[in-house]
Structure 1
Amino acid sequence: MKQDEGNETMREIAQSVREGAMAYLRQQYKVVGIVFAVLCLIFIFMAFVLDAQNKVVPFAFLTGGFFSGLCGFLGMKTATNASARTTSAAMQGLNAALKVSFRAGAVMGLIVVGFALLDITGWFLILYYLFPKILPGFLEVNPLPQITVIMLSFGMGASTQALFARVGGGIYTKAADVGADLVGKVEAGIPEDDPRNPAVIADNVGDNVGDVAGMGADLYESYAGSILATAALGVAAIAARDHSDLALQLKYLSAPMIIAGIGVILSILGIYMVRTKEGATMKQLMGSLNFGINGSAVGIAVVSLPLLMYLGLPNVWQIWGAIITGLVAGLIIGKSTEVFTSHDYSPTRAIAKQAQTGPATVIIEGIAVGMESTAIPVITIAVAVAISYYLPGGASEPLMGLYGVGIAAVGMLATLGITLATDAYGPIADNAGGNAEMAKLDKSVRERTDQLDALGNTTAATGKGFAIGSAALTALALLAAYLEEIRYGLIHLAHKDTLIIPGEGSIDTLKVSVSQFMSYYDVTLMNPKVLIGLFMGAAMAFYFCALTMKAVGRSAGAMVEEVRRQFREKPGIMRGEEKPDYARCVEISTVGAQREMILPSLIALVVPVAVGLIFDVAGVLGLLAGGLTTGFVLAIMMANAGGAWDNAKKFIEEGKHKDEYGEKGSEQHKATIVGDTVGDPFKDTSGPSLNILIKLMSMVSSCSLVS
């Protein structure tokens, strides 16, 4: 905030974006507030009237949603304050602009990890230390296994808020972007971010709404969910051996929080390591960011071992190996995403090459690149799951193996403070370029911001790949945590202290293993309930994407009509004699996003409950497994295809290889604009929203299992 915001025109443009962003958030929080009020009343009824849930659940649910929303607000406020300051810094040089935009993005990364850890540790301290004093006998009926299960409801609050933020933000940003591109660049032939385009302010607002507030809420939920699920699994694994060994349960509960705490400190150090030189290439800029990320990851790998040893875990080397597995998996997925989306590599250049034959082949090649890009992340996650499960002893003790998978997810997300900074910085750089264009600054300023913007496209795609990979591991840990919720419900709500396991007889519910739970509920592929759940989970991923993409289409259609109307009724706009009505376009995107986000979000909340009511636990496990596997692969495909289309357009716009690929304004360029327009809802609406869908379904299943 100490940096110069530039001349009066630059400040006016930035203020318009700030006002639009805050107007959107106010409207979104009104809608989300109503949904939270209704859900909270349902939880209160279940807890206080039906006595079917712990009475803490409604309040833990609210704090999760509150802190997630607060992160979005603070991140958005910082990003919109940073755009003109980045433009001003770009007048001095590339490194100055990178430092301002990246450190502003780092605010989003650090408040996400800070508030998540604050909420988690705060609730644990309240439940473990305060409640036993004010409610005598609390610990006797709520030992550590029950406390960790109760805390998972906080994750549902974060998941619900994240889904609305992601879906609503994605619809807003792409409606504005598509409308601005189709009428402005394709029909009117004016440059991107031209002040004559009525949708240009809405487009700049949308960048922040989607990739700052939306992505922050998404990864807040993954981060919190991975810690909560891992803590619950660690406590359950030890409780299954010896229910009275609270000291060892506490050690396994605190381990993921310690790793996350290390990650915060090392992320801050990594942020200060990011710097570059004037005239840096895309590879050099990417190397600057990777230097900070990789430095943080190496630091976590080194520091976590002695701290885990000090903590005194019996299988410290195996747990440390699982953490390293998660860190390496995150780096591999990030690099894979970079290769398939950056125009420094052949997949994206192949899309640009196809532009010579028109938009159809650009779209075909982009979809093929997206599909091809799924192989490495899927193999990486499969290997990571295998190593992190079997290394801590999953073959003989499944709960400890699942704890290993959970702590691998925590390891992957431990660098979130800096990883999210690389994503949140992208919209700031993009807005800075728009500010330079609208303020008619020197061409060299726009060239610098374009370099940062192109890098931002790649880091945004990398961030989405990272988010999807972490979502897969987190969702798997949550799937296992769901079983612990069932155990809690059987003991404390259904009052079943023993279960009759087929072929094994009566077994203490506290001692029932994962495989025995599978036998008790007949969770096999020969059970039609499981198969029905699998198909429904797979279909949910596609149907959810269809709803969100159609929502973008409808909102974008309204935006296109409005921009055309203004051009038609105000001919002075194109001559620079009349000012466009920017506020009307911002309003169209805001209203459209709020209206269109409700149905997809409600379906994600309702379907798990409906499946549980009809097909019980077997059907729910099938639903979660089907949604996880299909949603993971589909999300990678959509995010990478969209990122590759976007950077193929940017590659041609650079004009460095115009003899082979064409240049800005050419037919090849127009073909890639069509591809980029198709890819917009892929990478910024439907694909990223799937991360939350697969985790939210697990959270909803856990919190509503009594139903």
Structure 2
Amino acid sequence: MQDIIYLAPLAGIVSLVFAVFFATRIFKEGTGNEKMQEIATAIQEGAMAYLNRQYKTVAIVAVILAFLIYVLLEENSGKIAIGFIVGAISSAAAGYIGMNVSVRANVRTANAASEGLKKAMQVAVHGGAVSGFAVVGLALLGTSVFYIMFGDVDQIIGFAFGASLISLFARVGGGIYTKAADVGADLVGKVEAGIPEDDPRNAGVIADNVGDNVGDCAGMGADLFETYVVTVIAAMLLGTQILQAYPNAVIYPLILGAVAVFASIISIFFIRIGNDNKIMKALYKGVAVSAILCLVAFYFVTDMLIGNINIYYAALVGVVIMVLMVLVTEYYTSTSYRPVKKVAEASETGAGTNVISGLAMGFESTALPVLIIVSGILGSFFVAGGAADPAMGLYGIAIAAAAMLSTTGMIVTLDSYGPITDNAGGIAEMAGLPSEIREVTDALDAVGNTTKAVTKGYAIGSAALGALALFADYRYKVNLEMGELALDNPVVLAGLLIGALLPFIFSAVTMQAVGKAAFAVINEVRRQFKEIPGIMESTSKPEYGKCVDIVTATAIREMAIPGVIAVATPLIVGYVLGPLALGGLLIGIIASGLLLALTMNNGGGAWDNAKKLIEDGFHGGKGSEAHKAAVVGDTVGDPFKDTAGPAINPLIKVVNVVAILFSSLFIGAGIF
């Protein structure tokens, strides 16, 4: 039975083969006229230049941390340090591969739009599938190979730390880049100059299009790579607590991931737009088929490896959580429902009421997801037998989290679809393509905004469940009983408040970074409008490279402090205040981080699509006072949903993984 472990690396390889397959299909598509190719090349060069600089900077940090791991840890430090480096490289590769294809699929999608909606959508989905299968393939392959090599879950925690670190930097750096460019281009272009989005006369437009890729392709790719790795390893770690009763408990999460790969491969071919031309329906069809196939396969895997139907029910709970989180996020961020319509309506009375309405929707949007996650935690705990055996209950929660990630390949496909279609619309606008082509790309892009928001909601939910599993493993590592983590203990309370504070300080730093970079972009775009004659008449070409350089340099520089906060805080608290305080910190960061991330993601998505709704002709349409107010609201929402909000996910997991990795150093430490 133990030989079944080799199904996991095999599935990882198959996933990577299909990523290559879809990439090959994309490269065979036409790239349009010379003007389209010129714009696409500028986006490609800007995106790759940024990512290369980012990874060179992060590589230095990774080498230093690998050395510290080797020096500070007493047991298996060499293996853990190697795992850390490989995890970092794999996470970087997941984002790099996906973005490399996305910046080439964009122009091909724009060109395919001349053949109609179905063809353009197919190209965009296949471009997104490259990211989806690369992320899952690399995550499953790396985790399983290291486990097979070392035979000890504790020794592969370094792989999870490397993945988490790169994810944090990719999310923070990419988020600063994309939103600084977006905010700068929008405020000067739309509000001050009164020109359309993606107008070639705007000097910030290339940086804006580059940002879509480094934020939502490379950033989300690295984010869900580490979420997948960390969650699976957390489930494997908790599996060690029940090995005596269930010998296959450690490898079970890997096999769930393996069969899910084959489910995703089958389901990608079900994404076909019908005669009703409903794009979101077609995309959800793929997710639904993937979830159904996973549930069928999970039953047989559970029966074969565990033999306890209750664990299957825990996996079922995880898939239900995934579906409900997707639906709730769509409700709060789609133009079809009350929240976005209310924010758009509030724009009629100015930017102030727009911002108030958007904040209110963001706060309101936390209720249903929290109830879903709480129900999922309790449901998976008790169906797995937690009432009689808490270890089984915690394992059930971890399996629910792992099962929730079974559709990661499809979810990343949907996410990468967003920037591909966004870029396709930008290329169509800048190249002056006929209006009927822009109508196709606009239809694709409108759905892309929702898919990006849905993906972030999915990532937040999975992060909460995964972090809870990590917290449980931290308790085992430092021999803490739940009764010791009582709020009447001032040490625990101190740690909890520090943990609850972290997401807010982290968000403040990242949003200030966006503000600094956007300020520089705004001044540069204004300067060019003023000093370069003929830009508005289209007789002169803006200096796009200036804005690209500004946001690249700022993003690289400003991502350092958030990284230090994430790694240093748990180390300091663990050493100075001890393991009890660190346990409190982990509880605090999970609770406040979940709520703040939900508020930012859903509120930002509502602001964004409220602007889109007005641009579609509602409440006065483009150029109206309501539109100007909505642009201001979207400016506030941009760093919410694309910088600070999604970066909280890797923050939570980096802090938890650091606590587990260095747990041996905290035992007996602290002044209390």
TM-score bracket, normalised by the shorter chain, equals: over 0.9
> Which blocks of at least 5 consecutive residues in structure 1 are unaligned?
129-146, 242-247, 488-515
Secondary structure of 1:273's match? coil
1:686 is paired with a residue whose SS is helix
How far apart, in 1, do the equivalents of 2:134 and 2:219 lie?
Answer: 14
Letter in 2 for 1:228: I
**Residue 266 of structure 1: which of 252, 263, 266 is its match?**
263
- Mapped to 1, the partners of 2:231 and 2:615 lie a distance apart of 41
User: Which residue number in structure 1 is paired with residue 101 of structure 2?
Assistant: 78
Decide whether the 8 Å contact of 2:242 with 2:249 is kept in 1.
no
CA contact (8 A) 1:232 1:484 kept: no
Other-structure match for 2:653 = 695
Q: Could you tell me which of 383, 391, 395 is aligned with 1:403?
A: 395
Q: How big is the shift at 1:279?
A: 6.8
Which residue of structure 1 aligns with residue 562 of structure 2?
A: 600
- Give identity over the alignment, percent: 48
Check if 1:300 corresponds to 2:294.
yes
| Matching residue's letter, 1:473 | L
Equivalent of 1:355, from 320, 333, 347? Answer: 347
**2:644 equivalent in structure 1:** 686
- Give me the whole-angstrom Cα distance separating, in 2, the residues matched to 1:29 and 1:443: 39
Alignment correspondent of 2:437: 445
Match of 1:504 in 2: none
SS in 2 for 1:343: coil
* Cα distance in structure 2, aligned partners of 1:61 and 1:401: 30
Instruction: Give how far 1:647 is off.
Output: 0.5
Residue 103 of structure 1 aligns with which residue?
Answer: 126
Query: Which amino acid counterpart does residue 290 of structure 1 have in structure 2?
Result: Y
Matches of 1:114 and 1:171, distance apart in 2: 28
Kindly indicate whether the alpha-carbon contact (under 8 Å) linking 2:70 and 2:77 is maintained by their aligned counterparts in 1: no
Q: Distance in 1 between matches of 2:307 and 2:275?
A: 51
1:52 CA drift (Å): 5.3
Return the letter of the residue paired with 1:662. G
Q: State whether residues 94 and 277 of structure 1, in contact with CA within 8 Å, keep that contact through their aligned partners in structure 2.
A: no
Q: Aligned match of 2:194 in 189, 197, 203? A: 189
Deviations 1:402-438 (A, max 9, x none): 1110110011000000011101110000000000001
Equivalent residue, structure 1, for 2:668: none
1:58 aligns with 2:81: yes
Matches within 5 A, 1:327-476: 327-476=319-468
CA distance in 2, matches of 1:431, 1:126: 42
Structure 1 Cα separation of the partners of residues 575 and 387 of structure 2: 32
Superposed CA offset, 1:30-56 (max 9, x none): 110011011011112124xxx355431
Report how far residue 482 of structure 1 moved: 1.6
Larger Cα-atom Rg: 1
Q: Aligned equivalents of 1:560 and 1:620: distance in 2?
A: 42
Change (3 A) 1:298 1:279: closer
Q: Is 2:551 the counterpart of 1:557?
A: no
TM-score for both structures, normalised by structure 2: 0.94
The answer on whether the counterparts of 2:207 and 2:544 sit within 8 Å (CA) in structure 1 is yes
Cα displacement string for residues 283-331 of structure 1 (whole angstroms, at most 9, x for unaligned residues):
x2211111110111011111110122122x142x111101110000011
**Match status 1:662 vs 2:620:** yes
Q: Which runs of 5+ in 2 are unaligned?
A: 1-26, 666-672
1:235 is aligned to 2:240? yes
Question: What is the aligned partner in structure 1 of residue 66 from structure 2?
Answer: 40
1:501-541 deviation digits (Å, cap 9, x = unpaired)? xxxxxxxxxxxxxxx6345xx32211111101111111101
Could you tell me which amino acid in structure 1 is paired with residue 292 of structure 2? Answer: V
2:523 alignment partner, SS class: helix
1:626 corresponds to 2:588: yes
Equivalent in 10, 15, 21 of residue 47 of structure 2:
21
For 2:13, the equivalent position in structure 1 comes to none
3-state DSSP of counterpart to 2:115: coil
Partner of 1:8: 34
CA contact (8 A) 1:95 1:278 kept: no
User: What amino acid is the match of 1:72?
Assistant: G
3-state SS of the aligned residue for 1:252? coil
Alpha-carbon distance change, 397 to 54 in structure 1, aligned in 2, over 3 angstroms: farther
Alignment RMSD (CA, Å):
1.2
Q: Write the distance in 2 (CA, Å) between the matches of 1:177 and 1:427.
A: 13
Contact 1:430 1:453 in 2 (8 A): yes
Residue aligning to 2:154: 149
Residue 524, structure 1, aligned to residue 486, structure 2: yes
For 1:190, the aligned partner's letter is I
Between the aligned partners of 2:431 and 2:356, the Cα distance in structure 1 is 38
TM-score of the superposed pair, with normalisation by structure 1: 0.89
**1 CA distance for matches of 2:59 and 2:541?**
36
Aligned partners of 1:94 and 1:279 also within 8 Å: no
Q: Give the distance between the partners of 1:53 and 1:269, measured in 2 at CA.
A: 40
1:247-284 per-residue CA deviation (whole Å, 9 max, x = no partner) reads: x43x111111111111111112221111214672xxx2
Instruction: Find the aligned partners of 1:278 and 1:4 in 2 and give their Cα distance.
Output: 25
Paired position in structure 1 for 2:220: 215
Inter-partner Cα distance in structure 1 for 2:297 and 2:242: 25
Letter in 2 for 1:574: M
Distance in 2, matches of 1:589 and 1:480, equals 40
Mapping for residues 534-545 of structure 1, pairs under 5 Å: 534-545=496-507
The alignment partner of 1:115 has SS state of: helix
Deviation at 1:485, TM superposition (A): 3.4
Paired with 2:476 and 2:106, the residues of 1 have a C-alpha distance of: 46
Deviations 1:324-362 (A, max 9, x none): 100000110110010111011111011111111001000
Deviation of the 1:543 alpha carbon: 0.7
* Structure 1 position 677 matched with structure 2 position 627: no
The aligned amino acid for 1:416 is: T
- Measure the CA separation in 2 of the matches of 1:382 and 1:277: 37
Distance 2:205 2:67 in 1: 41
Question: Shift of the alpha carbon at 1:614?
Answer: 1.5
- Residue identity in the other structure for 1:649: K
Match of residue 280 from structure 2: 286
CA distance in 1: counterparts of 2:216 and 2:427, whole angstroms: 18
Counterpart amino acid of 2:162? G
Matched to 1:336, the amino acid is V
